Structure 1
Amino acid sequence: MQVLDESETRAALPFDGLIDAIAKMFAGDCVTPLRHHHTVSVPGEADATLLLMPAWVPGQYSGVKLLNLFPDNHVRSLPTIVGRYLLSSGRTGEMLALIEGGELTARRTAATSALASRYLSREDSRDLVMVGTGRLSLNLIEAHCRVRPIERVRIWGRELRKSSLLAEEAMKLGILAEAAPSLEEAVRHADIISCATLSNEPLIRGEWLKPGSHIDLVGAFKPTMRESDDTVIQRSGVFVDTYEGAMHEGGDIAIPLKTGVLKLEDIRGDLRELVTGNRKGRTSQAEITLFKSVGAALEDLAGAILAYETKLRATENR
């Protein structure tokens, strides 16, 4: 059985290949049962989340991700997301690979946002604002830069120091980046706004958005959490990764649905419909688009298969 640590997982999941693998999986016949999503109390700290996410392609591969999300791990200088992915043969049940789950999750999440951006952001998008400074943020920056000609990245976080440090990391990848002292000013000039935070209250205001912008909402993964306000929803063409997940797990969709600000028929499509061409994405240069991602088990399976096959080829070629 192949065992991939964090660095090996990262090396086995180049964004170009991963974006294409996820697109193929959304368009295919992957089976994704409802995930197991449990709240785990941590005395004296924020509640943790335990996720079990199974998926399989009949006769080919099957897999399950076990993921622990502990929001207060940052005070211990530990990663917020800890987990592993177990990939098996879909024909024999043989266990094929154990893959580091945090890196897999970060890269497949960023790749999924970039895949949505292919259909929803303007092709000439050059100005990216990254909201949040956690593990996902650098991955999101890199992935968005793979699908659009990004020339400028501005990073906003609650601590300017962390924004500056993340900008330095992006610069090491050859991406022109800087810390943004003002979120409003950055958003008002942005072509793409990508958010990956644990915010419980809206950060992005609809009146800040310029015509033609695209909003990528990745954080706020619980139905009580939000990164955007009602005006953002009202001004945007809304798309989701999966209807089931976004409607029940992401507050940016679940709350407006509950209050009547958004109706189910207002959601213009999910990623499967975009990838297969059953729904259109952006319809004009001036349209504001929004993509809400809560994650889907098929994304993990696509990444796990790519990582396993990449590592297998490298081993065979030695």
Structure 2
Amino acid sequence: MLTISAADVDRALTFPGLVETLRAAFREGAVQPLRHHHTVERTAGSETTLLLMPAWTDFKRVGVEAEGHIGVKIVTVSPDNNTIGKPAVMGQYLLLDGRTGEPKAIIDGQRLTQWRTTCASALAASYLAREDASRLLVVGAGALSPFLAKAHSAVRPIGTIRIWNRTPANAEKVAADLRTEGLAAEAATDLDAELAKADIVSCATISQTPLVKGALLKPGAHVDLVGGFTPQMREADDDAIRRASVFVDTRTGATKEAGDIVQPLASGVLAESDILADLHELARGEKKGRSSADEITLFKSVGAALEDLAAGVAVYEALRT
């Protein structure tokens, strides 16, 4: 069994390559039960969330059992970790042979998550963002922030990147790191002003108060909501939902777990029929993405176990020889 580090994952993947791997995965499908979502109560500080995300090859669809895989990601989200200099998200991914159940690899789950999450956003943007989208605003300066900048830059001609965070020094650090990789990134201090100028707004926070104000979005903008993974979290306000054509990664996950979808559904701002498509339907050509240059689009992801499986198999195949 291979033990695959974060550095190994970086060596195995490219952003354009993984976007296409995920496109094929959503087109072909996989069995992915709704993820197990458990709250671990603590005597002091914030609660820890334990997530278990299983998936396996849909053998009935592809019919090639010998080449199938089973995978499960075990993740913890501990918001208080940031105060002690540790990542809020920890995890490992276990990849198994689909026929025998033999363990094939244990993969750094944090890095795999960063790659697959941001490449899923880029995949959505390939259908939903304008072809000429060149100005990207990343809201949040956590571990996903630089990956989002690079993933979106892989599918659209991004020439200007702005990073906003409640702590400006954190935004500047991300921007500085991106500049060393040749990307035109700067820290932003005025979120509202940047929202009004951005072609793509990519938001990766654990905020429970909306940060993206829909009234400020310009015609043709694309909003990518990544961070909120519980019904209590919210990154965009009701105006954003009202003004936008709404898309999700998976209907089952988004309508049960994502506050940006769950809360508008509960209040009547959004109906389930207003969700125009998920990534399966977009990848299979069953539903259309962007329909006009002035259309505002909004994509909400909560993460799909299929993404982990596809990314995990890609990493394993790249490194096993």
Instruction: Give the TM-score taking structure 1 as reference length.
Output: 0.97
What is the alpha-carbon distance in structure 1 between the residues aligned to residue 37 and residue 53 of structure 2? Answer: 9
What SS does structure 2 have at the residue aligned with 1:10? helix
Amino acid corresponding to residue 43 of structure 2 in structure 1: P
Q: Deviations over 1:51-78 (max 9, x none)?
A: 1111001321111111111111011111
Contact kept in structure 1, 2:22 and 2:120, CA below 8 Å: yes
What is the alpha-carbon distance in structure 2 between the residues aligned to residue 165 and residue 261 of structure 1? Answer: 37
Q: Which residue of 2 aligns with 1:70?
A: 78
- The yes-or-no answer on 1:202 pairing with 2:235 is no
Q: Which residue of 1 aligns with 2:194?
A: 186
- The yes-or-no answer on 1:8 pairing with 2:8 is yes
What is the alpha-carbon distance in structure 2 between the residues aligned to residue 32 and residue 71 of structure 1? Answer: 26
Counterpart pick for 1:222 among 230, 247, 261 = 230
What is the alpha-carbon distance in structure 2 between the residues aligned to residue 138 and residue 49 of structure 1? Answer: 24
Counterpart pick for 1:102 among 100, 106, 110 = 110
Q: Which residue of 2 aligns with 1:18?
A: 18
Question: Superposition pairs for residues 15-164 of structure 1, below 5 Å?
Answer: 15-57=15-57, 58=59, 59=65, 60-164=68-172
What is the alpha-carbon distance in structure 2 between the residues aligned to residue 239 and residue 172 of structure 1? Answer: 34
- The yes-or-no answer on 1:168 pairing with 2:215 is no
What is the alpha-carbon distance in structure 2 between the residues aligned to residue 152 and residue 29 of structure 1? Answer: 35
State the Cα distance separating 1:173 from its structure 2 match.
1.4
State the Cα distance separating 1:3 from its structure 2 match.
0.7
Gaps of 5+ in 1: none
Q: Deviations over 1:249-304 (max 9, x none)?
A: 11000000000000000110000000111000000000000000000000000010
State the Cα distance separating 1:80 from its structure 2 match.
1.0
State the Cα distance separating 1:13 from its structure 2 match.
2.0
Q: Deviations over 1:178-206 (max 9, x none)?
A: 01110000110000000000100110111
What SS does structure 2 have at the residue aligned with 1:145? helix
Aligned-residue sequence identity (percent) comes to: 49
Q: Deviations over 1:64-103 (max 9, x none)?
A: 1111111110111111111110101111211100000000
State the Cα distance separating 1:14 from its structure 2 match.
1.4
What is the alpha-carbon distance in structure 1 between the residues aligned to residue 2 and residue 48 of structure 2? Answer: 29
Amino acid corresponding to residue 13 of structure 1 in structure 2: L
Question: Superposition pairs for residues 296-311 of structure 1, below 5 Å?
Answer: 296-311=304-319
Amino acid corresponding to residue 222 of structure 2 in structure 1: H
Amino acid corresponding to residue 288 of structure 1 in structure 2: I
What is the alpha-carbon distance in structure 2 between the residues aligned to residue 248 and residue 10 of structure 1? Answer: 32
State the Cα distance separating 1:15 from its structure 2 match.
1.2
State the Cα distance separating 1:29 from its structure 2 match.
3.4
What SS does structure 2 have at the residue aligned with 1:232? helix
What SS does structure 1 have at the residue aligned with 2:292? coil
What is the alpha-carbon distance in structure 1 between the residues aligned to residue 228 and residue 44 of structure 2? Answer: 22
Aligned residue pair count: 313
Q: Which residue of 1 aligns with 2:265?
A: 257
State the Cα distance separating 1:16 from its structure 2 match.
1.4
What is the alpha-carbon distance in structure 2 between the residues aligned to residue 158 and residue 187 of structure 1? Answer: 15
Counterpart pick for 1:271 among 273, 279, 284 = 279
What SS does structure 1 have at the residue aligned with 2:31? coil
Gaps of 5+ in 2: 60-64
What is the alpha-carbon distance in structure 1 between the residues aligned to residue 79 and residue 300 of structure 2? Answer: 21
What SS does structure 2 have at the residue aligned with 1:179? strand
What is the alpha-carbon distance in structure 1 between the residues aligned to residue 16 and residue 173 of structure 2? Answer: 26
What is the alpha-carbon distance in structure 2 between the residues aligned to residue 29 and residue 106 of structure 1? Answer: 21
What SS does structure 1 have at the residue aligned with 2:33? coil
What is the alpha-carbon distance in structure 2 between the residues aligned to residue 11 and residue 224 of structure 1? Answer: 36
